Amino acid sequence: MLLPDAVYTPLIAAGLPDPSQAPAELELIMPEQCADIALKGMDLDLFYIPTQAHLLADMQPRFQEVESALKALGVEKTY
């Protein structure tokens, strides 16, 4: 599962013609860099292939919500 965030695609380019003007916190990457990361993740046989480091912080609350939902539904797995 490729987890790309801000990749400089035509959709982003429409609102940001010059990628060098992107705010640093956007962590904008170019399509070639995204492709390189994706290929490396495939070579490493990873299931999750994140493209930017901040995705961990972005995903943590979602993980906790899924964990809470599993507990509420009584389908949590014990290890």
Q: Given a cut of 70, is residue 79 above it in pLDDT?
A: no
Whose tokens are 């801000």? That residue is 6
Question: pTM of the predicted model, to two decimals?
Answer: 0.73
Q: Given a cut of 90, is residue 66 above it in pLDDT?
A: no
Q: Given a cut of 80, is residue 78 above it in pLDDT?
A: no
Looking at residue 53, its pLDDT comes to 87
Q: Given a cut of 90, is residue 11 above it in pLDDT?
A: yes
- Tell me the C-alpha distance between 59 and 9, whole Å: 22
DSSP-based three-state secondary structure for 29: strand
Beta bridge partners of 26: none
Q: Given a cut of 70, is residue 28 above it in pLDDT?
A: yes
* Token pair of 38 as six digits: 């994706």
Q: Where are the domains of the chain?
A: 2-73
